[in-house]
Amino acid sequence: MEPRRLEEACIKCKDRCCARCFDDGDENIFSCLTTDELEMLVKEKRHVVFNAGETILKQNTSASHVVCIKRGLAKIIAEGESDKKLILRLVANHAILTGGGIFIDEIRHFTVQAVTQVECCFIDSEKIYELVSNNSRFAFELLKLNNQQNIQMLNNLVGITQKYMPGRVSDLLLYLKNEIFLSNPFDTRLSRQELADMTGMTMESFIRILKEFKSSGIIAVDGANIHVLDEEALQMISRKG
């Protein structure tokens, strides 16, 4: 199957692939929808595949759609002045991306870019509004999602402002291992620059910390493949700052 490009309508979705996709898991904010609501949600959605490196959502564009990631890995980037970038977090499987400005200014406050090939659905924001209006459990779920992101960002903010680089790198490694890849030698698919952009430091500094960890026997590194050998140590370093 060849990777397809932008904006192919999800014709094959007659099999309700999305409905099923949106169904599974307890974490799923769509699990509270009735079949009718799910049908409505899915009806006019657009199923799109992005190749690695492609931009899924662009910061500062208007936000008329919500995106659900069905497969693949993407990075959320806050673009600052000049060329500075901060990667806020990675998103995988069933993540929902509202662009940050939904309900307010309808502007996207960050860019989302595919790390691997990403299969996702574009859903009209109107549908989300409609669901919030008609299904209070859904509103609840959305609030929950929002708050989770808020807390994650708060922790990020505190970590980045209060920890030295080794602590931040530890946090990143633990995050990748335990929250994103869920396996131990894990293949980040990310360049050193991108990893550095997740910690708010320069690539060179990041590489140096990584090297220290490597020579201390805390991790093993082979290219983009990282193996955490001593998680305790990482946690210690994370705590110590």
Shortest separation between residue 84's beta carbon and its own copies, angstroms: 4
The verdict on 48 binding DNA (CB under 7 A) reads no
- For DNA, the closer of residues 111 and 188 by Cβ is 188
To 5 degrees, how large is the angle CA 105–CA 108–CA 113? 170
In whole angstroms, what is the distance from residue 196 CA to residue 206 CA?
6
Contact residues for its own copies, defined by CB under 8 A: 78, 80-82, 84, 86, 88, 98, 100-104, 109-110, 129, 132-134, 136, 139-140, 142-144, 146-151, 153-154, 156-158, 160-162, 200, 239, 241
Contacted by 180, from DNA, its own copies, none: CB < 5 to 8 Å by type: none
In the sheet where 65-71 sits, what is the strand order? 46-50, 118-124, 65-71, 96-97
Total residues contacting DNA by CB under 7 A comes to: 19
* Helix (DSSP H) and strand (DSSP E) numbers for the chain: 8, 11
Find which of its own copies, DNA, none residue 143 binds, CB within 5 to 8 Å per kind: its own copies
Q: Which is nearer to DNA, 26 or 204 (CB)?
A: 204
Q: Which one of its own copies, DNA, none interacts with residue 40, CB within 5 to 8 A by kind?
A: none
88: left (phi > 0), else alpha (psi -120 to 50), else beta?
A: alpha
Instruction: Tell me if residue 124 falls in helix, strand or coil.
Output: strand
Binding residue for DNA, selected from 64, 193, 216, 235, defined by CB under 7 A = 193
Residue 16 in the binding site for DNA (CB under 7 A): no
Of the candidate spans 14-22, 42-50, 54-62, 188-196, the one that interacts with DNA by CB under 7 A turns out to be 188-196
Q: Kind and range of the H or E element at 113? A: strand 111-114
Least separation in angstroms between CB 89 and DNA? 19
142 binds, among its own copies, DNA, none (CB under 5 to 8 A by kind): its own copies
d(Cα 176, Cα 183) in Å, to the nearest integer?
A: 9
What's the CA angle centered on 46, arms 44 and 49, to 5 degrees? 165
Which pair of structure tokens corresponds to residue 134? 């008609």
Contact between 211 and DNA by CB under 7 A: the answer reads yes
DSSP secondary structure code for residue 225 in this structure: E
For DNA, the binding residues (CB under 7 A) are 164-166, 191-193, 200-205, 207-208, 210-211, 221, 223-224
